[in-house]
Structures are given as C-alpha cells and as structure tokens.
Amino acid sequence: MPRDINVIALIKGEEKYIFLYDDAHRRELLHIFSKFAANPQLSFSWYDAAVLSQKVRQEAQRRQLEERLRVNQPAEDWQ
C-alpha cells in the first residue's frame, strides 16, 4: 500500500520552507523544526516551529479520526 506524502509550508518574505513527510516520519519532522528554530542563520523562529508542530499534530489527529470512522463504517455503506 503506498504511503501518503504530507506537505507543510511556511513562507517568510523571500524564504520558503517546504517540508514533505509521511506519517512514519512525523517525529523526525518535529525534531527538524527545532533544529531550524535553533539555527541563528535562518529566519525560522521558535514561534514558527510551534505553529507548524501544532498543525502537523492536528493533521495527524484528523487522519486518525478519519481512519477510525472508515474502519467502523458498515460494509454496506462502502458502495
């Protein structure tokens, strides 16, 4: 079964931060946000890291709920 690729992006002036990840690598992405925020050479702030982290977690929760609803749906409704 192919894995879905998630995309989250941040545009700050001329800089563009575009992150592609699958659900299996969500934790690594959150760590990357921290590394970027700690890098003084980037305009990526701790606030940016917090906002993007929250969006990633919310999307994961939405997908989990969607999957639970799909799994619990009666077979006759699949048509």
Domain ranges for the chain, please list them: 24-72
User: Which pLDDT score, from 0 to 100, does residue 72 have?
Assistant: 76
Comparing CA positions, the residue from 18, 24, 29, 22 lying closest to residue 6 is: 22
Mean pLDDT by 10 residues, the chain (79 residues): 84 94 94 98 97 95 85 64
Query: pTM of the predicted model, to two decimals?
Result: 0.79
Q: Using DSSP, state whether 72 is helix, strand or coil.
A: coil
Displacement of CA 77 from its chain's centroid (Å)? 30
DSSP 12: E
At position 46, the amino acid (one-letter code) is W
